[in-house]
Amino acid sequence: MSALIALAAPVAAQQPTLAPIPATPPAAAPDPTPSGDDLSFLTTETRMTVPVRVAGAGPYPFIIDTGAQRSVVSRQLARLLRLPLGPRVRVTAMAGSGEVDTVIVPSLAVATLPAGSIGGRAIQAPALEASHLGAPGMLGIDTLQGHALRIDFDRDAMTVVPVARRRHRAAADDEIVIQARSLYGQLVVTHASVAGRKVRVVLDTGTATSVGNLALRRLLARRGKAREPAIFTSVLGQQMVGDIAVVPEMRLGSARIRSLPVAFADAAPFRAFGLNDRPAIMLGMDALRLFRRVDIDFANRELRLVMPRDAVS
């Protein structure tokens, strides 16, 4: 299941900010008002990728999507490499489900890792349009189990490393460690809240902007939050209507994210996760970029966030 989406709609112009949670939170500032900028779909020119060899060819720049259950290749790459067709399958994306062709990929390998350490066996990969993916392909969590993803925003680099189960490792002074649980292979953080209510957070590196469900929107609506209409286009090319509002404050572990523009929609992944009736958010790259470094450890079900230097007391 891919949570990678494209957005074409007016959204908030301000950038979200991040700060450590003080012992006594200050009084809330006036809510910012969304304005008329566009939040565009991220392509390989603006998002971080990893070099992946497909059937020994390449490497090609692949997006890593921690919100997607299956790895995907573009139809264009599949034709270039003459990958054989597999069966048609039904997949679920942000705007709904649909049947797509698959191709048989003999092997997927991150070029910077030892051979066979990831995706060493043949897989049936859905084949989607490159224009909808924004890259030649996408690595999903089917290839990330037993590994950790490090996103280093200081160096603008993303790496995948194999990891083993271990005992808890202490956090550094500038680091926040949050334990997560596995839900269909995705890591879900439960130590998070919005407006004093517990929120489930699905880590989703495949989305340009964070996406909230309708239960979270209803929670904000009771507090009079302004919304702007939005149109969403999924990796399947399907569209749905939603809206964008600013979440004035979200707590993630011991960090506080302020003024985060969130796209709200009745997105299919929330139903698939069983998170339709409780406040939940798929935390995208817009929020993750607030930190200097993000480590997502699938083997140990752990999220490590390195705070910005000016946010560490």
- What does the DSSP assignment read for the chain? ----EEE-SEE--SPPEEEEPPSSPPPPPPPP---SEE-PPP-TTTS--EEEEETTEEEEEEEE-TT-SS-EEEHHHHHHHTPPB---EEEEETTEEEEE-EEEES-EEETTS-TTSSS-S-EEEEEE-HHHHTSSEEE-GGGTTTEEEEEETTTTEEEEEE-------PPPTTEEEEE-EEETTEEEE-SEEETTEE-EEEE-TT-SSEEE-HHHHHHHHTTT--EEEEEEEETTS-EEEEEEEEEEEEEETTEEEEEEEEEE---HHHHHHT-SSS-EEEE-HHHHTTSSEEEEETTTTEEEEEPPGGG--
Give backbone dihedrals phi and psi of 109, rounded to 5 degrees, phi first: -145, 125
Give CA torsion, residues 243, 247, 251, 257, to 10 deg: 110
Cα gap 64→197, rounded to integer Å: 30
Cα gap 18→73, rounded to integer Å: 35
35 and 13 Cβ atoms separated by less than 8 Å: yes
176 and 305 Cβ atoms separated by less than 8 Å: yes
Give backbone dihedrals phi and psi of 250, rounded to 5 degrees, phi first: -130, 135
Nearest one of 136, 282, 269 to 208, comparing CA atoms? 282
Cα gap 301→304, rounded to integer Å: 10
Amino acid letter for position 254: S
pLDDT at 27: 36
pLDDT tens, per residue, the chain with 313 residues: 344 333 333 333 344 554 443 333 333 333 333 222 222 333 334 567 889 999 889 899 998 888 888 889 999 999 999 999 999 888 877 666 778 889 999 988 887 776 655 656 788 889 988 888 888 998 888 888 888 888 898 888 888 887 777 766 666 667 788 888 877 777 888 889 998 889 999 888 888 888 899 899 888 876 555 567 667 666 776 667 777 888 888 998 888 888 888 888 888 788 888 888 899 998 988 889 889 999 988 888 889 898 885 554 3
Cα gap 216→37, rounded to integer Å: 23
Amino acid letter for position 107: S
Cα gap 39→10, rounded to integer Å: 7
pLDDT at 280: 92
pLDDT at 41: 33
In order of their start, the domains of the chain are 5-43+148-311 (2.40.70.10), 50-143 (2.40.70.10)
pLDDT at 173: 67
28 and 248 Cβ atoms separated by less than 8 Å: yes
